Amino acid sequence: MNKTIEFSINKKNNGERLDVFLSKEIKNLTRSYIKKLIEKKNVILNKSIKTSPSTKIKTNDKIIINIIKEDNLKIIPNNIKLDIIFEDKDLLIINKPKGMVVHPGAGNHKNTLVNALIYKYKNKLSDVNGSTRPGIVHRIDKETSGLLVVAKNNLSHSNLGKQFSEHSIKRKYQCLAWGVIRPLNGRIETLISRNKKNRQLMTVSDVNGKKAITNYKTVKVFNIKNIPKISLIECELETGRTHQIRVHLKYKGTSLLGDKQYGKKNIKFKKINKDFFNNLSALNGQALHAETLEFTHPIKKKLMSFKSKLPIDFKKTLDLLNNLSG
């Protein structure tokens, strides 16, 4: 069922943004989710529907918000071709392209991986995570490409979930980052929590958050004339927090090529290799690919290992860097 909550604004909240106020008052919802609820006409301010998250509120204002639970969202089957690496009666391995959201949510009702799975498999997927996330055991970011395991039944789902929680599943990512990370090889262990200033982002925290561990090694450093130093880095996750690799790289003073959320804004070059600049401009999202996935089959109990090729835009950039470096 949907839930309706009413608020009366007091003096201390006078002048706040509507989305900021609601995200502070409703602890179990992210600010990005609240923004989408506002934009979808689910918030009434003084008997008037508001669709702008930045609307300023005043003392004595009355707010009514209708919270739509994700399980009430109707999943629309979409005929989208899936790149299936492996499949048996218990699970399937999918190579997710950049730009695809894993499951529906407010503002993303169509063309997600789940919409495609529902079209192809109907009700032949696990339902451990509810009706809006059938088969979904774990996720990767929208603009990250690579391997995902999907469960076809609840027994497989529960076993795979246990392997993730015990950190026994191996997940390796390839990425291209600005500069050189120091030390070249290492282990990053921090707490990660939601960014208080922008709840769509995550950040390293000293006092609260979830434990996050990333092991990394620098595969190659590209030091090419008229191109800033760039590193090819392999990251292996022990935990799987939201935006973990991107947050940890920022924590180490670098960021991924093409990362518009955690990367530097409006990078300016005094002098830049034209071919590289064109490749950089053509990057479709961040240069981050979930290349390797290794786990124990939940039913057959045998080791399963999968590897996927780099997406075209990532490979083109890497090939160019290799060619220019000789």
Pairwise CA distance, residues 190 & 252, whole Å: 11
Q: How would DSSP label each residue in 94-126?
A: EEEPTT--SS-BTTB-SSSHHHHHHHHHTT-S-
Taking the CB of residue 54, how many other CB atoms lie within 10 A of it? 11
Q: Are 29 and 20 in contact (CB under 8 A)?
A: no
Pairwise CA distance, residues 198 & 200, whole Å: 5
Q: How would DSSP label each residue in 175-200?
A: EEEES--SSSEEEEEEEEEE-SS-TT
Amino acid letter for position 276 = F
For the chain, helix (H) and strand (E) counts, in that order, are 7, 14
141 assigned to active site:
yes
Q: Which of 302, 297, 305, 307 is nearest to 152 (CA)?
A: 297
For the chain, the distance separating the N- and C-terminal CA atoms, rounded to the nearest angstrom, is 61
Q: Which of 38, 75, 69 is nearest to 53 (CA)?
A: 38
Given the residues 141, 206, 259, 275, the one annotated as active site? 141
Q: Are 287 and 219 in contact (CB under 8 A)?
A: no
Pairwise CA distance, residues 51 & 310, whole Å: 40
Phi, psi of 257, deg, nearest 5: -60, 135
Helix, coil or strand: residue 251: helix
Active site members = 141
